[in-house]
Amino acid sequence: MKAIGFVTSLPVDDPASLFEFETETPEPGPRDLRVRVRAVSVNPVDWKQRQRAAQGTALAAPKILGYDASGVVEAVGSEVSLFSVGDEVFYAGSILRPGTNAELHLVDERLVGPKPASLSHAEAAALPLTSITAWEAIFDRLPVPEGGGAGKSILILGGAGGVGSIAIQLARKLTALEIIATASREDSARWCRDHGADLIADHRDLITSVRGQHRHHVDYILCTNQSGPHFDAMAELIAPQGAICSIVGTERPVEISKLMGKSASFGFELMFTRSTFQTEDMIEQHRLLGRVAHLVDRTDSGRIKTTLSETLTGFTAENHRQAHKMVEAGSMIGKVAIAY
């Protein structure tokens, strides 16, 4: 089968940074689905791995990137019970296994959801990683109870990005929270409002921007980028006994003790934790994606939208390099997908 990978960490404009190659068709293990991939989307984790995994020394074999995928089940393992051959599925996979940038891909069925019937494969591929991340951050890590949050507020840093775009929608449809999203451009601010944000703040002067809207404190903060540079502002803005969740690490030490006086909590969300450690509740990602598919397929006001903003057509290394370049630039609104 054809796949796209890399052996050396190179700038994305270098044709060797991502290239096509042939590899063997994978055989499913007991709980695996073999999926004929129809579309993938690119996330920051993809270009970060491309930049960091093979610096200085080339890999012995090409590494296949890609986590988000939508496709059709072609074969199943001996213990599979959740899906059958021919089912359309979407998922974000595991960071420990070869990625989705291939014609065929293996994934544990417990990480897979039924593809939303109302979406194309490209529209569906834009959702899994960001939906899981946003859902786990809001409802498992902060945690906000579903249907709760009346009289409280959440600040979402990076509202127009992939995770921010779906987090706004989940908070809008499944909680009673007031939603403040950060955006620094008019087009990104408009995107946040269109997806359900009540107020817009500017991350470049976060404290002044939030308090200029007569919100002295916020009860919850979801940080989707640069938690280190924003930590002091988050510590100042978080309410007493509030909670902060970040989906990215910090590149410099932060004074976590700044949260002590408020008895505020700080935690991380990584959607690969369950698959990496094979946790007993790994199947929760299957159930979560089922909930997301249901919300997408609704025809009433409870419906959520795909966050796809651009589609590249064709399973080529050139398209994958272009998608990496777009995401790596750091100014993407929504998600970019590649339709195979």
Q: What are the φ and ψ backbone dihedral angles of 132, each rounded to 5 degrees? A: -65, -45
Indicate the pTM of the whole model. 0.97
Per-residue pLDDT tens digits for 217-245: 999 999 998 888 999 999 999 999 999 99
pLDDT band at 4 (very low <50, low <70, confident <90, very high): very high
Return d(Cα 164, Cα 187) in angstroms, integer.
15
pLDDT, residue 306, reads 97
- What lies within 8 Å, CB to CB, of 287 at 6+ separation is none
The strand pairing partners of 268, in sequence order, are 246
Task: Give me the CATH code for the 2-127+279-339 domain, please.
Answer: 3.90.180.10
Question: What gap in Å lies between CA 337 and CA 26, rounded to an integer?
Answer: 24
Sorted by where each begins, the domain ranges of the chain are 2-127+279-339, 130-268
Tokens of 272: 């690969």
pLDDT for the residue 55:
84
- DSSP 8-state secondary structure symbol assigned to residue 251: S
Summarize the confidence of residues 103-122 as an average pLDDT: 98
pLDDT tens digits along 56-97: 788 999 999 999 999 999 999 999 999 999 999 999 999 999
Phi, then psi, of 337 in degrees rounded to 5:
-120, 155
Chain-centroid distance of CA 127 in Å reads 7
Q: Which amino acid is at 138?
A: I
- The predicted-structure confidence for 297-339, as pLDDT tens digits, reads as follows 999 999 999 999 999 999 999 999 999 999 999 889 999 999 9
Fold of 130-268: Rossmann fold (3.40.50)
Which is nearest to 321 in space by CA: 67, 5, 95? 5
pLDDT band for position 52 (cuts 50, 70, 90): confident
Of residues 253 and 156, the one with the higher pLDDT is: 156
What pLDDT, on the 0 to 100 scale, is given for residue 57? Answer: 85
- Looking at residue 168, what is its pLDDT? 98
pLDDT for 54 beyond 80 = no
Supply the pLDDT for residue 250.
Answer: 85
First to last CA, the chain: 13
Instruction: List the structure tokens of 305.
Output: 């939208």
Q: Which long-range contacts (CB under 8 A, 24 or more apart) does 321-327 make?
A: 321/12, 321/13, 321/15, 321/17, 321/18, 323/41, 323/42, 324/12, 324/17, 324/18, 324/42, 324/46, 324/47, 324/50, 325/12, 325/13, 326/42, 327/42, 327/43, 327/44, 327/46, 327/47
